[in-house]
Amino acid sequence: MIAEIQHLDDRGAGRAEVWRENDKGNLRKLKLTIPQTLPGEKVRVTVDQPERKRRKAMPDEIVEPSPSRTEPPCPHFERCGGCVWQHWDYTAQLQQKTEHVKHAIKSQGFDPNLVLHTIGMDQPWHYRNKMEFTFSPDGSLGLHEQGNFRKVIPLEECLIASEEMVEAAMEVANWVKEYQLEGYNKDTHEGLLRHLMVRQSFATGEIMLGLFATEAPEGQLQIAVDELINRIGEKFPHVKSLLWLENKDWADRTQAEKSHTLAGRDFIYDEMDGFRFRLWFDTFFQTNPIQAQKLVDLAIEMGKPKNGETMIDLFCGVGTFSLPFANKVGKLAGIEIVEKSIESAKRNAEDNGISNTTFLAKDARRGIDQILESFGSPELLLLDPPRSGAGGKVMRRIGRSKPERIIYVSCNPDTFATDIKELEPFGYKLKVVQPVDLFPHTVHVECVAELILE
C-alpha cells in the first residue's frame, strides 16, 4: 500500500493514516508508524495483520521523497537506534525542533512567537563526549538495534562520538575477541562483559574507559586484564582513567557495586566556561560540551546576575551552572537530590577557589524550604530539572518564594511548558524561549527560558 507521512511522533518516526476495506467491505482506518520517513513523503509499505487498527512497518520504498531527505553517512543507520534523523537535512531538523517547542508552549496557552529559532551546530558530528556501548553474548561490542534492546549491532564506527573515543573502544573490542571473553546474556543472566563506557574531555583531552563486568578482574582474568592495561597505556596516552566496574545486578544499567582502578585515576578532568570539573564514571555532565557552553552563556545573558544578589540553583548536579553564576552573585545555594553530585559540586567549587556557595543534598521542594530559611527569598533562581520536569509542587513552591527572575533550562519542551504554566498565578511572565540543539540527528532539543515577576 501507499501511505503519506503526515507528521512525526515523539521518537522521530513517520505517522500515516490509510483507509482499507475489511472482509465485510467496510472501510477501516489503519494508523501506521513508519520509521526513517519524513513529513510529506509518500512511501510503499507492507502491513502484516492489516485487521489491526495500529501497526508499525518499515518502508519498502520511498515513492516520493522529501526535498530535505539526504543520504545517511553512517553504515549502521538503518539498524542502529542511536541517530533516527541522519536521513534528514540538518537545517530541516532544526526547524522541526523549533516547531516542537512552539507547539509545546502553545498547548499551555503561551505565545509561540516567544520561541526563537533553534541554535544548531556548525559541525553536527563527533559531538558527544560520552558513549555507552554494549557487549553481545558472543563478545561483540556495539550499540542496540533500533527498537530491540536485546540485539547489539557490532561497532565499526560512530559518527556522533569523537574519533579517539571510537578508536579506544575498538581496541577494547579487539582485546575481547583475542581473549575470547564472553559478553553478558540478558536472558540467561550469564556472561562476563556487559558495557563499555567511554568518556572524553574535549577541553583537556583526557579519556576514561570503564568496563562493566559481572566478576572482579582477578584469577583467570588477570593475564587478559594485564594485557589490556599495557595495550591501552601504549596506544592511548590520553586515557587517564581505566576502570573495571563490577555489576552483578540484573538491571541493564551502567551501575557498579564495586570499582577497580586498573590504571590512572578514578576520575578525569574536564573544563567548561573556564572552570575545572572532576568527572567520575557515574557523574552527570553535559554530553555535548560545545552546545552546553551555549546553554551556560544564554542562562547568564538572560539571568543578568548582579554582585550582591542571592541565587538558588535547583537540580544543580555537579555545579555546571552554579560555578559560572557564583562568580557573578553575592551568594549561591545549589540543591540536588543525588548526594554524590553534591559532593562533587563542593569539591569542584573548592578546586576553582569559589567560596560563596552552599550545596545541599535534598529533594527540590524540601531543599528550597531549608535554603529560604537561611538565605531568604532569592533575586534569581535557575532550575535544570530532568526530562520528567520539576512538577507542580516544586513549581508552586518556586512561585511562592517570589524570585525576581527565573531561568528554566529544559531538556523536554513538553514538561517545561506544563511546569511554567504553574507560575502564571504567581505573576510570572514568560519573556523568551531559546531552543538549543545538543543532540543533532535525534529528536531531543534543549531550551533556555526567561521568566520575570511582574
Cell of residue 248, nine digits: 552483578
In percent, how much of the chain has pLDDT > 70? 99
Boundaries of domain holding 336 = 95-122+287-453
CA 84 to chain centre: 14
Asked whether the predicted pLDDT for residue 50 surpasses 70, the reply is no
CA separation for the pair 297, 273 (Å, rounded)? 9
pLDDT for residue 155: 84
CB atoms within 10 A of CB 307: 8
Show the cell assigned to 241.
582513567
Is 411 marked active-site?
yes
Q: What is the reported pLDDT for 151?
A: 85
Please enumerate, as own/partner, the contacts of 339-342 that have beta carbons within 8 Å and a separation of 24 or more: 340/280, 340/282, 340/283, 341/283, 341/284, 341/316, 341/317, 342/316
Judge if 153 and 57 occupy the same domain: no
Predicted local confidence at residue 437, as pLDDT: 98
pLDDT at 314: 97
Query: Per-residue pLDDT tens for 438-449?
Result: 999 999 999 999
Where would I find the H helices in 265-363?
289-303, 322-326, 339-351
Radius of gyration of the chain (CA): 24
DSSP 369-433: HHHHHHH-S-SEEEE---TT-S-HHHHHHHHHH--SEEEEEES-HHHHHHHHHTTGGGTEEEEEE
C-alpha cell at 117: 529559532
Give the mean model confidence (pLDDT) for residues 171-178. 97
Asked if 314 and 399 sit in the same domain, the reply is yes
Both 343 and 417 in a single domain?
yes
Strands across the sheet with 331-336, in order?
357-361, 331-336, 310-314, 380-383, 405-410, 446-453, 428-436
Residues 136 and 165 occupy one common structural domain: yes
24 pLDDT more than 80: no
Identify the burial level of 79 via C-beta atoms within 10 angstroms of its C-beta, where 0-12 means exposed, 13-18 middle and 19 or more buried.
Answer: middle
pLDDT tens figures, 409-444: 999 999 999 999 999 999 999 999 999 999 999 999
In tens, the pLDDT along 296-347 reads 999 999 999 999 999 999 999 999 999 999 999 999 999 999 999 999 999 9
Report d(CA 193, CA 183) in Å as an integer. 5
Question: Looking at residue 104, which CATH number applies to its domain?
Answer: 3.40.50.150
Whether residue 76 is contained in a domain is answered as no
- What sign has the CA pseudo-torsion 81, 82, 84, 86? negative
How much is the average pLDDT of 381-400?
97
Q: What is the identity of the amino acid at 297?
A: D
Residue predicted with more confidence, 27 or 18: 18
In a shared domain, residues 295 and 438: yes
Q: Which of 83, 158, 411, 447 is catalytic?
A: 411
42 with 100, same domain? no
Please indicate, yes or no, if residue 279 is contained in any of the structural domains.
no
Percent of the chain with pLDDT over 90: 85
Assign 83 to helix, strand or coil.
coil
Which residue is it, cell 522541526?
96
Whether residue 135 is contained in a domain is answered as yes
Q: Minimal CA–CA distance to 153: which of 72, 258, 82?
A: 82
Nearest Cα to Cα of residue 440 among 197, 118, 100, 200: 118
86 lies in some domain: no
Burial grade of 115 (CB within 10 A; 0-12, 13-18, 19 or more): buried
Q: Is the domain of 260 the same as that of 226? A: yes
Nearest to 239 by CA among 280, 289, 281, 199: 199
Q: Which pLDDT band holds residue 42 (cuts at 50, 70, 90)?
A: very high
Q: Are residues 422 and 448 in the same domain?
A: yes
Section 215-227 average pLDDT: 95
Give the span between the Cα atoms of 235 and 229, in whole angstroms. Answer: 10
Interval 36-62 mean pLDDT: 89
Angle at 412 between CA 81 and CA 33, to 5 degrees: 45
Q: Is residue 343 part of a domain?
A: yes
C-alpha distances (whole Å) from 39 to each of 65, 74, 263 are 9, 22, 50
CATH number at residue 256: 2.40.50.1070
Same domain, 307 and 181: no
CATH number of the structural domain spanning residue 24: 2.40.50.140
The alpha helices in 132-282, defined as continuous H runs, are 163-178, 222-235
Is residue 144 domain-shared with residue 14, that is, in the same domain?
no
The three three-digit cell numbers of residue 294, written as one number: 551555549
Domain tally, the chain: 3
Residues 160 and 242 in one domain: yes
Residues 6+ apart with CB under 8 A from 122: none
Q: Is the pLDDT of residue 78 over 90?
A: no
Q: How confident is the model at residue 62 (pLDDT cuts 50, 70, 90)?
A: very high
More confident position, 74 or 23? 74
Q: In this structure, are 309 and 332 located in the same domain?
A: yes
Q: Give domain status of residue 278, yes or no.
A: no
347 part of a folded domain: yes
Asked, for residue 73, whether it belongs to a domain, the answer is no
* Three-state DSSP class for residue 261: strand
Long-range contacts of residues 353-357, Cβ cutoff 8 Å, at least 24 apart: 354/323, 354/326, 354/327, 356/326, 356/329, 356/330, 356/331, 356/332, 357/319, 357/322, 357/323, 357/326, 357/331, 357/332, 357/333
